């Protein structure tokens, strides 16, 4: 068992996380999809792509693929799907006319920002008080967990 001096034991920590993770996932799933986006049948993979484009501005396909850790063809398919639905649009890069950037369509920017803003506010509240090193540890730990669970 843990004491006040040594923090949580590994068993106590695992137990706390096993109980906490379903609540976190449940809360994330309950973020209400704005009416303007409900007909688009957005999947979790779309949310990650939309988050990058919302927070970092228009990005090229290859950069999105790198960040999402998937093949550019996979990202192109997702972008094509969301472009046909009018959620995303492709724009020529003003700094390099040979390059195409992916942006959230103006008509849906507010709805996407409102939707993803809840998660943004939550993470900012949780991570804001931490040092940069502590934030890196949280992210590294969650990635390690995801990898371990994925490996079976």
Q: In what order do the strands lie in the sheet with 88-93?
A: 59-60, 96-104, 88-93
User: Could you tell me the pLDDT band of residue 90, with boundaries at 50, 70 and 90?
Assistant: very high
* DSSP letter, residue 40: G
Query: Residue 148 is encoded by which pair of tokens?
Result: 């371990």
Mind listing the pLDDT tens digit for each residue in 18-58?
A: 999 888 888 877 777 788 888 887 877 788 899 999 999 89
Mind listing the pLDDT tens digit for each residue in 117-151?
A: 777 888 889 999 999 999 999 999 999 998 998 88
CA distance 144 to 21: 14
19: Cβ–Cβ under 8 A, 6 or more apart, which residues? none
Of 65, 95, 93, the closest CA to residue 78 belongs to: 65
CA distance 84 to 63: 21
């Amino acid at each position: 068992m843990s004491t006040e001096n040594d923090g949580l034991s590994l068993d106590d920590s695992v137990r706390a996380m096993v109980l906490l993770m379903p609540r976190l996932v449940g809360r994330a799933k309950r973020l209400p999809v704005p009416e303007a986006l409900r007909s688009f049948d957005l999947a979790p993979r779309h949310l990650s792509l939309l988050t990058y484009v919302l927070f970092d501005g228009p990005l090229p396909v290859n950069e999105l693929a790198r960040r999402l850790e998937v093949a550019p063809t996979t990202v192109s398919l997702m972008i094509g799907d969301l472009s046909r639905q009018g959620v995303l649009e492709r724009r020529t890069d003003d700094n390099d006319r040979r390059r195409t950037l992916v942006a959230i369509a103006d008509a849906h920017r507010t709805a996407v920002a409102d939707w993803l803003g809840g998660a943004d506010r939550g993470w900012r509240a949780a991570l804001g008080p931490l040092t940069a090193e502590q934030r890196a540890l949280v992210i590294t730990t969650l990635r390690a967990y995801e990898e371990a669970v994925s490996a079976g």
